[in-house]
């Protein structure tokens, strides 16, 4: 079935996106939501857990349902949905408990995503791993349905925010000429692009910047004999800086920006797990490193993983595994 027919057979739509939602997850979800509402559907957006403060300004963000805060509401929405969109993730493991609800639901399932190796839980899959962001695919989706003229502020801001945050502000190799054409089209339609850069990037708090200073002064290390830089911060240290979700966003890029460094890792302690962010340059596939060693995945140059052993053990394990990986 093509997506037009699927939409014709649907009334209640739920849009879902991955845990620890980022700018692309929230941006593409709110953009698609805005579009489908304009087309007359009953649409809800569901996320597994809360999203950082620097995304709360987005139009429609206040209507997003967070599973961790409103489990029963989310269960009801998914139960009643006849179409469920999965945005910016390729595997139901990426949506935690929401994944079980989706897999049990009889609703039609549509995935729009740009991560490698999509799993086959969805009935309709739009997977383009060459796209810098899911938000770019949402623009294409609206374009394919000949509805670009429906783009309003919510849709334009969501698409732009998703593209901007997932492309490192239009600098990663994944940026295509089309990416810039989309940005140009959104600006032609009245988007204030510089406002979005400000709303996302110029909202640091003093504790967040102090944490950045601490990370760079005391935690950034270059491993001997390999082009690898690491920043590892324990949960106890994060708490000393009044850590809030999103406060370590982008930290890993400072490690990657060191001259000669090809792989950067940020290892973050948490209550009962350790989260890792990996970045690389050129042909080094950190998503493969992460899936082989830390139950993770992502993109070739930007991936993440998780470990349930202690923080100290995880740091040691990373250091030995990355040396092995580079051999
Ligand atoms: P970040 O380091 O910004 O959290 O994530 C970078 C990329 O890796 C994102 O595309 C994200 O979807 C992916 N990623 C992050 N954590 C995980 C994880 O635990 N598992 C998988 N499969 N992908 C992850
Ligand atoms: Mn994305």
Closest CA to 87 of 49, 33, 149: 33
pLDDT, average across residues 247-275: 96
Q: What is the mean pLDDT of residues 15-30?
A: 97
The rounded Å distance from CA 18 to ligand 1 centre is: 9
pLDDT at 1 over 90: no
Question: Chain-wide mean pLDDT for the chain?
Answer: 97
Nearest atom in ligand 1 to 91's CA? 22
**Angle subtended at Cα 205 by Cα 199 and Cα 207, rounded to the nearest 5 degrees:** 155
Residue-wise pLDDT for 64-108, tens only, equals 999 999 999 999 999 999 999 999 999 999 999 999 999 999 999
Q: Is 275 in the pocket of ligand 1 (CB under 6 A)?
A: no
Reported as a single tens digit per residue, the pLDDT across 119-147 is: 999 999 999 999 999 999 999 999 999 99
Q: pLDDT, tens digit, for every residue of 266-285?
A: 999 998 899 999 999 999 99
At 39-71, the pLDDT tens digits run 999 999 999 999 998 999 999 999 999 999 999
Whether residue 323 is predicted with pLDDT greater than 90 in this model: the reply is yes
Strand partners, 84: 14, 109
173-224 pLDDT tens trace: 999 999 999 999 999 999 999 999 999 999 999 999 999 999 999 999 999 9
Residue 269, ligand 1, Cβ within 6 A: no
pLDDT at 144: 97
47-51 long-range contacts (CB < 8 A, ≥24 apart) are: 47/16, 47/17, 47/19, 47/21, 48/18, 48/19, 48/21, 48/95, 48/96, 48/97, 48/98, 49/19, 49/20, 49/21, 49/96, 50/245, 51/20, 51/21, 51/22, 51/25, 51/26, 51/245
Is the distance from the beta carbon of residue 303 to the nearest atom of ligand 1 less than 6 Å? yes
- The pLDDT of residue 301 is 93
CA dihedral 33→36→38→41, nearest 10 degrees, is -110
Q: What is residue 75's predicted lDDT score, i.e. its pLDDT?
A: 98
CB of 43 shorter than 6 A to ligand 1: no
Give counts: helices (H), strands (E), the chain. 13, 12
Whole-number Cα distances in Å, 246 to 14, 51, 211, 251: 25, 8, 12, 10
What is the tens place of the pLDDT at every residue in 189-201? Answer: 999 999 999 999 9
- CA distances to 19, 96, 246, 319 from 260, rounded to whole Å, are 33, 37, 27, 18
Check if 306 has its Cβ closer than 6 Å to any atom of ligand 1: yes
Residue of 231, 303, 305, 318 best suited for mutating to test ligand 1, as the one with most atoms within 8 Å of CB: 303
Q: What is the pLDDT of residue 68?
A: 98
Give the pLDDT mean for 4-8. Answer: 96
> What is the Å distance from ligand 1's center to 57 Cα?
23
Total-model pTM: 0.93
Q: Which of 311, 66, 279 is nearest to 174 (CA)?
A: 279
237: CA distance to ligand 1 center in Å? 23
Give φ, ψ of 15 to 5 degrees.
-105, 125
Query: Does ligand 1 come within 6 angstroms of the Cβ of 298?
Result: yes
* Ligand 1 contact, 219 CB (< 6 A): no
Q: Whose CA is nearest to atom 9 of ligand 1?
A: 298
**pLDDT at position 272:** 87
Contact at 8 Å (CB) between 81 and 69?
no
How confident is the model at residue 271, as a pLDDT?
83
């Amino acid at each position: 079935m093509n997506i037009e027919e699927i939409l014709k057979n649907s009334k209640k739509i739920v849009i879902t996106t991955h845990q620890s939602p980022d700018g692309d997850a929230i941006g593409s979800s709110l953009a698609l939501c805005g579009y489908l509402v304009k087309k007359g559907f009953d649409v809800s957006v569901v996320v597994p857990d809360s999203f950082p403060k620097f995304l709360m300004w987005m139009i429609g963000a206040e209507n997003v349902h967070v599973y961790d805060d409103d489990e029963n509401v989310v269960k009801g929405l998914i139960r009643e949905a006849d179409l469920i969109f999965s945005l910016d993730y390729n595997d139901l493991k990426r949506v935690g408990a929401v994944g079980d609800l989706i897999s049990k639901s009889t609703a039609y399932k549509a995935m729009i995503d740009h991560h490698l190796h999509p799993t086959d839980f969805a009935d309709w899959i739009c997977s383009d791993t060459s796209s810098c962001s899911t938000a770019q695919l949402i623009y294409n989706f609206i374009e394919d349905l000949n509805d670009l003229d429906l783009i309003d502020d919510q849709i334009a801001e969501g698409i732009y925010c998703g593209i901007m945050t997932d492309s490192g502000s239009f600098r990663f190799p994944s940026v295509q000429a089309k990416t810039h054409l989309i940005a140009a089209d959104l600006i032609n339609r009245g988007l204030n692009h510089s406002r979005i850069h400000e709303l996302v990037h110029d909202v640091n708090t003093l504790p967040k910047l102090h944490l950045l200073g601490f990370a760079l002064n005391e935690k950034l290390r270059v491993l001997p004999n390999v082009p690898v830089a690491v920043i590892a911060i324990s949960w106890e240290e994060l708490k000393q800086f009044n850590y809030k979700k999103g406060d370590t966003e982008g930290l890993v890029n400072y490690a990657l920006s060191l001259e000669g460094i090809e792989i950067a890792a940020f290892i973050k302690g948490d209550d009962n797990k350790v989260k890792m962010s990996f970045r690389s340059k050129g042909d080094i596939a950190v998503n493969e490193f992460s899936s082989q060693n830390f139950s993770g995945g992502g993109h070739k140059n930007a991936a993440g993983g998780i470990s349930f052993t202690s923080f100290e053990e995880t740091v040691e394990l990373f250091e030995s595994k990355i040396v092995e990986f580079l051999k």
